[in-house]
């Protein structure tokens, strides 16, 4: 395709258009399939309730009416995509941001604890990795604890973190950020230990021939060598950090945040509200990972990586 | 070539009058100051099953300004010996001094530049910044290290490539960057471990020629590890022939080929004679048997 485009300089537009179709086509195809399956599933899952209602109203119904009804219930088992889209649009664009009903407001609360937790977690993860790489004692003593920490379900720990931190006066953003941090430092530590150890023996010997100090070896060799590993870990970390922030909002009885939105949605059977909060969480997750990816790209360019 | 003539004059003044004609082995303790002194040195690597004797009873004196090659088959300890000089390995027994002090003290004084088998460039640094690396570590000012690095890059024929990254260069050019990097902080002693081993013969010839001119110009002490007989004979004043299991020095062959050698010296009878002696020595060590 590209060869054709190069060989026919008179028609570059055709090549570019074909390129666009090639790129967007598969994604659009998958989305279309998901939507079709989703509508079908909505009919299948919601039909029993609708039929019960029709029966209790002693009404006769056509297939058409049944399908329409399954796609427009107030509290469906599975809302139809357009219901979620409408709710998402209304709560994002048609509600004042300061309002408690605004999804943007709730997303903002979650994003701030996500980012704070991500910052804490990345710093903690990197410090643990630097310690592990430089001290054999830490290498042997820390790692088992780090791994053990990740085997404890976060849902079990989160309420205790909130209670403990609350009793010493930390409420609101901070406890949630701590829960985020607890989840997200792990991939950073694992990735950075690997990355800081990635220079080959020759590159390390070279530093030794210069009698470089450990700090110089860290900043001029180990740190830049770990860049790829760091960004891979940070992408995982920022996504788990978001999960941590949402989980942290569940047991805190938080009044705000996507987690609180999910919780209140499930109390009152507001499935549409739950799904649009989930959709918002997914969108934020994709966006955050994309931002990390963008920074990675800029850094890689500065470091002379082939495009 | 005034620069070259001046280099040769410096070189001549540094060489004892007898070294030109007498076998260099006997002239080892001449009047020129000693760069490296090795006495009864051995090194045993402790491995899981049996200890490996990498070096056994090595005695060698290298004078300042000399170009000495270590040659021998794989596993003869030539690289290990170079690494001991550089304080990258510690000997198990014997004594060694570099510039009159222990290898560790010499390393801490930044007495030598080391060129490895592979270029070992840092992929995230441009060519210029790779050469500037040792200068950053010794704490030179930014402007000074930039000028210094640029001048050594042009010395190895890479002016104009400063802003390129290692992956944009051929293997030969990368190795030249690593030589410029070793030269950049102007050590008196240059330790080179098969620096041209991975290159094609044409590039290698070219770099051999460049290296020899560089040595003639600067009068540095060079210790050069190789497994190529013709490379050793072309470059060195003395050739240390080694044999494996355990790594020992079989013979030290003086090379009387005149200074100011050019590549076509390799076709002369005198060159072939020295090469023949090296080959004989290697054969005597049964180096080819296993």
- For B34-87, what is each residue's pLDDT tens digit? 888 899 888 988 877 888 888 888 889 999 989 999 998 887 888 899 999 999
Confidence check: pLDDT of A244 > 50:
yes
Stretch A117-141: mean pLDDT, rounded? 93
d(CA A76, CA A82): 13
d(CA B221, CA B180): 16
> Is the pLDDT confidence value at A307 over 70?
no
Average pLDDT over residues B159-167: 92
Closest chain A residue to B132, measured at CA: A220
Collect all residues of chain A within an 8 Å Cβ-Cβ radius of residue B126.
304
Distance from CA of B138 to the nearest CA of A (A): 8
Question: Please, which pLDDT band fits residue A189 given cuts at 50, 70 and 90?
Answer: very high
A303 contact residues in B (CB cutoff 8 A): 123-124
The pLDDT assigned to A11 comes to 52
Interface of B with A (CB under 8 A): 86-88, 107-108, 110, 112-114, 116-118, 120, 122-126, 133-134, 136-138, 165, 167, 185
Does residue B4 have a pLDDT over 70?
no
Contact state of A203 with B125 under an 8 Å Cβ cutoff = no
Structure confidence at residue A12 (pLDDT):
55
Mean pLDDT across B173-177: 91
What does residue A77 show for φ and ψ, rounded to 5 degrees? -65, -50
* pTM reported for the whole predicted model: 0.80
Binning pLDDT at 50, 70 and 90, where does residue B281 land? Answer: confident
pLDDT at A84 over 70: yes
Query: Which band of pLDDT confidence, cut at 50, 70 and 90, is reported for residue B1?
Result: very low
Percent of chain B with pLDDT over 90: 29
- The pLDDT value recorded for residue B68 is 94
Residue B225 host element (H or E):
strand B221-226
pLDDT, residue B203, reads: 81
Q: What is the pLDDT of residue A8?
A: 45
Find chain A residues with C-beta within 8 A of B108's C-beta: 211
Residue with the larger pLDDT of the pair B9 and A256: A256
Q: What is the pLDDT of residue A253?
A: 65
Q: B191 - beta bridge partners?
A: B114, B223
Chain B: closest CA distance from residue A204 (Å): 9
Contacts of A222 in chain B (CB under 8 A): none
- Give exposure, B49-79, as e/b (b: 16+ Cβ within 10 Å): eeeebbbbebebbbbbbbbbbbbbbebbbbb
CB A247 within 8 A of CB A161: no
Confidence band, pLDDT 50/70/90 cuts, at residue A229? very high
* Lowest pLDDT segment from A68-72, A215-219, B13-17: B13-17
pLDDT digit string, tens, across residues A146-157: 888 888 888 888
Confidence of residue B22 (pLDDT cuts 50, 70, 90): very low
Residue A198 C-alpha from the chain's centroid: 27
Share of chain A above pLDDT 70, in %: 94
pLDDT in the model for residue A14: 66
**Chain A residues in contact with B107 (beta carbon < 8 A):** 208-209, 211
| Cβ contact B111:B99 at 8 Å | yes
- In this model, does residue A129 exceed pLDDT 80? yes
Closest alpha carbon to A231 in A289, A275, A281: A289
Q: Which residues of A touch B165 (CB under 8 A)?
A: 304
Residue in chain A closest to B117 (alpha carbons) equals A202
Q: Do residue A304 and residue B126 have CB atoms under 8 angstroms apart?
A: yes
In this prediction, residue A3 carries a pLDDT of 45
What are the tens digits of pLDDT across the range A248-305?
888 766 678 898 888 888 888 889 989 999 999 999 999 999 999 999 999 999 898 8
Confidence of residue B13 (pLDDT cuts 50, 70, 90): very low
Confidence label for B3 from pLDDT (cuts 50, 70 and 90): very low
A227 vs B contacts (CB less than 8 Å): 124
Residue A5 has pLDDT above 60, yes or no: no
Structure tokens at A63: 């297939």
Q: What is the pLDDT of residues B178-193, one digit of tens each?
A: 989 998 888 889 999 9
Comparison of pLDDT for B260 and B279, the residue scoring more: B279
Residues B84-98 pLDDT 10s: 999 999 998 889 999
Interface test with chain B among A304, A306, A307, by most B beta carbons within 10 Å: A304
Say what the pLDDT of residue A1 is.
Answer: 40
**Which pLDDT score is estimated for A269?**
83
d(CA A44, CA A78): 9
Closest of A142, A140, A233 to residue A183, by C-alpha: A233
Under DSSP, is residue A304 helix (H, G, I), strand (E, B) or coil?
A: coil
Q: Do A227 and B108 touch (CB under 8 A)?
A: no
Probe site for chain A from B80, B90, B104, B120 (most A CB atoms < 10 A): B120
Residue with structure tokens 């219930």? Answer: A73
Confidence of residue B7 (pLDDT cuts 50, 70, 90): very low
Query: Using CA of residue A48, residue A51, residue A53, residue A58, what is the dihedral sign?
Result: negative
- List of chain A residues whose C-beta atoms are within 8 Å of the C-beta of residue B122: 203, 220-221, 224-225
Contact B122 A203 (CB under 8 A): yes
- CB-nearest to B134 from A210, A224, A306 is A210
pLDDT, position B116: 92
The predicted structure's pLDDT at residue B123: 92
Q: Do B122 and A224 touch (CB under 8 A)?
A: yes
Cβ–Cβ below 8 Å for A210 and B118: no
pLDDT given at position A255: 77
Q: What is the pLDDT of residue A199?
A: 94
In this predicted structure, the answer to whether residue B288 has a pLDDT above a threshold of 80 is: no
> Residue A209: which of B86, B118, B126 has the nearest Cβ?
B86
């Amino acid at each position: 395709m590209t060869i054709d485009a190069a060989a026919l300089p008179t028609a570059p537009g055709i090549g570019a258009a074909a390129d666009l179709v090639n790129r967007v086509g598969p994604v659009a195809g998958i989305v279309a399939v998901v939507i079709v399956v989703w509508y079908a599933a909505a009919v299948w899952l919601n039909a029993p309730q609708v039929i019960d209602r029709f029966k209790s109203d002693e009404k006769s119904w056509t297939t058409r009416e049944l399908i329409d009804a399954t796609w427009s219930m107030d509290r469906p088992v599975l809302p139809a995509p357009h219901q979620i889209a409408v709710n998402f649009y209304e709560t994002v664009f048609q509600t004042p941001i300061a309002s408690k009903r605004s999804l943007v407001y709730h997303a903002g609360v979650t994003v701030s604890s996500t980012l704070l937790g991500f910052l804490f977690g990345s710093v903690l993860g990197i410090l643990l990795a630097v310690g592990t790489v430089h001290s054999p004692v830490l290498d042997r003593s820390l790692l088992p604890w780090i791994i053990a920490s990740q085997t404890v379900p976060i849902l079990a720990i989160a309420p205790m973190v909130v209670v403990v931190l609350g009793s010493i006066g930390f409420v609101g953003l901070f406890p949630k950020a701590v829960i985020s941090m607890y989840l997200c430092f792990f991939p950073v530590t694992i990735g950075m230990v690997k990355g800081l150890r990635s220079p080959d023996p020759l590159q390390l010997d070279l530093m030794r021939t210069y009698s470089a100090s450990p700090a110089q070896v860290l900043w001029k060799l180990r740190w830049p060598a770990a860049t790829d590993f760091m960004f891979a870990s940070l992408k995982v970390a920022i996504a788990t950090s978001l999960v941590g922030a949402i989980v942290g909002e569940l047991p805190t009885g938080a009044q705000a945040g996507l987690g609180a939105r999910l919780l209140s949605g499930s109390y009152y059977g507001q499935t549409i509200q739950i799904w649009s909060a989930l959709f918002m969480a997914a969108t934020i997750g994709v966006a955050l990972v994309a931002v990390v990816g963008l920074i990675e790209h800029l850094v890689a360019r500065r470091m002379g990586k082939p495009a | 070539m005034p620069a070259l003539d001046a280099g040769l004059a410096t070189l001549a003044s540094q060489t004892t009058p007898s070294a030109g004609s007498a076998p260099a082995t006997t002239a080892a303790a001449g009047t020129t100051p000693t760069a490296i002194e090795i006495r009864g040195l051995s090194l045993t690597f402790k491995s899981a099953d049996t200890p490996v004797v990498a070096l056994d009873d090595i005695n060698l004196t290298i004078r300042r300004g000399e170009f000495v090659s270590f040659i021998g088959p794989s596993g003869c300890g030539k690289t290990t010996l170079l690494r001991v000089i550089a304080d990258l390995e510690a000997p198990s027994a014997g004594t060694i001094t570099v510039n009159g002090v222990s290898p560790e003290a010499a390393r801490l004084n930044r007495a030598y530049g080391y060129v490895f088998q592979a270029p070992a460039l840092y992929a995230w640094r441009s060519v210029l910044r790779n050469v500037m690396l040792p200068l950053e570590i010794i704490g030179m000012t930014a402007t000074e290290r930039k000028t210094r690095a640029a001048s050594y890059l042009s010395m190895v024929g890479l002016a104009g490539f400063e802003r390129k990254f290692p992956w944009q260069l051929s293997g030969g050019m990368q190795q030249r960057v690593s030589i410029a990097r070793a030269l950049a902080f102007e050590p008196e002693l240059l330790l080179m471990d098969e620096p041209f081993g991975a290159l094609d013969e044409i590039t290698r010839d070219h770099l051999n020629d460049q290296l020899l001119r560089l040595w003639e110009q600067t009068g540095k002490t060079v210790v050069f590890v190789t497994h190529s007989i013709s490379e050793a004979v072309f470059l060195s004043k003395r050739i240390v022939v080694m044999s494996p299991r355990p790594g020992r020095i079989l013979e030290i062959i003086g090379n009387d080929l005149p200074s100011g050698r050019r590549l076509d010296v390799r076709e002369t009878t005198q060159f072939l004679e020295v090469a023949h002696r090296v080959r004989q020595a290697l054969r005597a060590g049964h180096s080819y048997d296993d």
